A and B are shown apart, each in its own frame.
Chain A
Amino acid sequence: MKHLSRYRRHKAAAPLLLLFALLAIGTTFSVASATPSKSMSTFARTAAIDEGRAIFLKGCSSCHGLNAEGGQVAPSLIGVGAASVDFQVGTGRMPMADMSQQAMRKPPKYNAEQVALLAQYVASLATGPAIPTDEVLNYERDGNTAQGGQLFRTNCAMCHNFAAQGGALTQGKYAPTLMGVEPKYMYEAMLTGPQSMPVFGDKVITPAEKLSIIKWIKAAQAEPALGGAALGRVGPVTEGLLIWTLGIGLLIGVAVWLAMKAR
C-alpha cells in the first residue's frame, strides 16, 4: 500500500478514485437488486394473475404499495388498466431508475411475458383500458394520413413538436420524440395519458382517429428532408445555435485573418 500512497497527490488520482467508486456502487446495486424470475408461457388465468402478482410484489410494490394502492412517491394502479402497464413497463419507463422529474424510455427490465403477466395482474384489480390487439392496430389499413395530420396539429403538436420530434415541458420534464415508437405504445399513451400527458379517450379521439394519428407520424418519420440538413427538425433552436456558433465563429475567424499583418 505504501507505494500506492505515493501517487495519492497525482492529478489523475481524484478522477480515478471517483470512477472506481461509481463502478463499485453500480455493480453492487445491480447485484443486490432483484432479478425477475423466469416464467412459463401458458397459464390458467388465475395462475397468470398470481404469477403477475409475484413479479409485482418483488419489483413494484416498494413504491406502488403491496396492493397497488399507491404511496408517498407513486400513484395507485387500481383501474389504470393493462394498457398502462404495457406502456410503462414495456417501454422500460417503469421501474424508474431514479426519482428524477420524469421516467424516461430505456431498455425494458422485464421481458414480454413478464410484462403480460404484470398487466393481467393490474387489470384484475379493476377495469381499465385493455392492450390493443394487432387487429386493432392496423393503421395502414384503417388510418387516414391527412386526417391524422389535422388531429396531430390540434392535439399533439403543442408538446411533441410539429414534426413529432418531441419538446420541452416545464422544470426538466419533456415530451419524448415519437420517431421510431411502436404503434402499440403510441396508441396506449393516447389511451392512458402517462405522466404529464393528458388522456385522449376513445370518445374524444376515436380508435380510427388514433390510427390516423399514428399513420401520420409514421409518414412524417419516412418523409425525406428535401430542404437539406434538417438539423433535428426542431425549427429555430438548432438553426439559431448553428448560426450563432458556426456562422459567427467563421466571421470572427475571417476578421482576425483580415487584420493580421502578412509576413
Chain B
Amino acid sequence: MSNELEAISDPGLPAHVHRKADHDPIAEKKAERQVAILFLLSAAGTILFIYSYIWISQDLFIYLPVLGTTNAKQLFLGVGLAASLFFIGAGAIHWAKTLMPDEEVIAMRHEMRSDDADRAALVKSAKEGAAAAGLGRRSLIKRTMGLSLGLIGLSPLLLLRDLGPLPAKQLDVTSWDKGTRLVTDPGNRPIKPSDLEVGAVAQVLPQLRAGEERTLNNIGKDAVLLIRLRPEEFQLTPEKLAMTHEGIIAFSKICSHMGCAIALYEQQTKHLLCPCHQSTFDVPRGAKVIFGPAARPLPQLGISVDSEGYLVAQNPFSEPVGPSFWERNTK
C-alpha cells in the first residue's frame, strides 16, 4: 500500500486567475511603487515622532476641526507613532498581496508515523545520553534538583496569602463614640442643627481628640453624610426616628455594596446614589435600597446635640460600615 494519497484531479475549485502584476510589467512597476510609498510613509511617521519628541514645545496648542484645541506635541507623537507602525504593516501586506509569488501549489499529506529505523535510533540516542549524564549514579544532583523544583512550585501558593488577612473586627470599630462632635470635612468646624437648611447636606467626620491624627484609613470608615429633611417626611421605625435630630439624619458614606463613598444626593427625589454601581438609597425610609446591587441600607448614625448645641453622635455605629465580609454577622 502506498503512503501517498492520490490527488483528486478536479475538486471543483474555480480556475486560478493571475493578478495584473503577474503578467503586466506596467502594473508590476505600479505595485512596486505603491509598496515603496507605504514604506516611505512609515519612515515619515518615525521622523515625525522623533521631531515631535525633540523639537515641538510642550506648551504648543493648535486648533483642529473635530478635536478642538489640542496639545501639538502629544498629537504628533501619536500620529507619528501610529503612522510608522501602521504603514510598515500595510506595505508588507500590499507587497505580499500584489508581488510575492502567486502560484497555487498542491502539497500532499503524508502519514505522521516515522519509520521504524528512525524511531529505534531516537530511543537508542536517548538511552546513551542518559547513561553519559550519569542520572542513575549522581543521586545528590537528582535530589537537590527535585528540592529546587519543589520549592519553585511553593512560591505561587505562598502568594495566595495576599488574599488575607481577614478584616476581622476592623470595620466594627470607627472613631465615632458617644458624644463625639460632628465636624465639617474639610474644615473641621463643629455644626449646629440651625446650620443646615431643609434640603441641605453636609459631609462630616468625627472631631479628633487631642493628639489624634486623621489617617486615610480612618476617613475611609468614619465619613458620614448629614441630610436635613422636614421631620414629617421620615418613614422610620421609632428606634430609627429617635436617631435623627430635628429632621437631620446621618448615614455612613461608605456604600454597603463595595465601599465607595456615597454622596450623590438628589434633593428633589431624596435619593442617595452610589457613583460606582448606581445603588440607590431612599433617604426618608432610612436609606432603604430601592435600586442596584447594595444588599442592605447604609448604617445610620444616631445624632443629638450637646450642652453647647453642637451636633454629636449618640452612640458608635451599631453595625460594621461598608461592604459585606464573611464574619460580618458573627459577633
Which listed residue (B74, B200, B264) contacts A193, Cβ 8 A?
Answer: B200
Residues 22-52 (chain A) with a chain B CB within 8 angstroms: none
Is there contact, CB below 8 Å, between A198 and B200? yes
A127: CB under 8 A from chain B? Answer: no
Nearest chain A CB to B330's CB is how many angstroms away?
33
Nearest chain B CB to A212's CB is how many angstroms away?
10
Residues 181-199 (chain B) with a chain A CB within 8 angstroms: 184-187, 189, 191-192, 194-199
| Chain A residues in 8 Å Cβ range of B19 | 262-263
Counting chain B CB atoms within 10 Å of each CB, the highest count among A197, A200, A201, A224 belongs to A201
Given that A147-B186, A154-B203 are contacting pairs, would A173 and B266 also be in contact in the complex, using a CB cutoff of 8 Å? yes
A209: CB under 8 A from chain B? Answer: yes
Main SS of the interface on chain A? loop
Which listed residue (A196, A200, A225, A258) contacts B200, Cβ 8 A?
Answer: A200
Nearest chain A CB to B68's CB is how many angstroms away?
8
Over the window 176-219 of chain B, the binary record of Cβ atoms lying under 8 Å from chain A Cβ atoms (1 yes, 0 no) is 00000000111101011011111111110000000000000000
Is there contact, CB below 8 Å, between A198 and B74? no
Alpha-carbon distance between A219 and B197 when the two chains are bound, in angstroms: 30
Over the window 159-189 of chain B, the binary record of Cβ atoms lying under 8 Å from chain A Cβ atoms (1 yes, 0 no) is 0000000000000000000000000111101
Residues 149-199 (chain A) with a chain B CB within 8 angstroms: 150-151, 154-155, 158-159, 169-170, 173, 193, 195-199
Counting chain A CB atoms within 10 Å of each CB, the highest count among B59, B67, B187, B192 belongs to B187
| Chain B residues in 8 Å Cβ range of A155 | 203, 263
Q: Tally chain B residues at the interface, Cβ within 8 Å.
A: 48
Nearest chain A CB to B41's CB is how many angstroms away?
15
Q: Tally chain A residues at the interface, Cβ within 8 Å.
A: 34
| Chain A residues in 8 Å Cβ range of B197 | 193, 199, 201
Nearest chain A CB to B28's CB is how many angstroms away?
12
Is there contact, CB below 8 Å, between A228 and B267? no
By beta carbon, the residue of chain A nearest B31 is: A262
Is there contact, CB below 8 Å, between A201 and B264? no
Given that A173-B266, A198-B199, A199-B200 are contacting pairs, would A262 and B187 also be in contact in the complex, using a CB cutoff of 8 Å? no
Is there contact, CB below 8 Å, between A197 and B267? yes
Alpha-carbon distance between A196 and B270 when the two chains are bound, in angstroms: 9
Is there contact, CB below 8 Å, between B186 and A151? yes
A229: CB under 8 A from chain B? Answer: yes
A256: CB under 8 A from chain B? Answer: no
Nearest chain B CB to A107's CB is how many angstroms away?
23
Which listed residue (A158, A173, A198, A263) contacts B227, Cβ 8 A?
Answer: A198
Is there contact, CB below 8 Å, between B269 and A196? yes
Is there contact, CB below 8 Å, between B70 and A225? yes
B20: CB under 8 A from chain A? Answer: yes
A and B contact pairs by CB, cutoff 8 A, 7 listed: A155-B203, A203-B194, A225-B71, A226-B71, A229-B74, A258-B93, A261-B97
A-B pairs with the 6 shortest C-beta distances?
Answer: A203-B195, A228-B74, A199-B200, A262-B97, A198-B201, A158-B264
| Interface positions of A (Cβ within 8 A of B) | 147, 150-151, 154-155, 158-159, 169-170, 173, 193, 195-201, 203-206, 209, 224-229, 257-258, 261-263
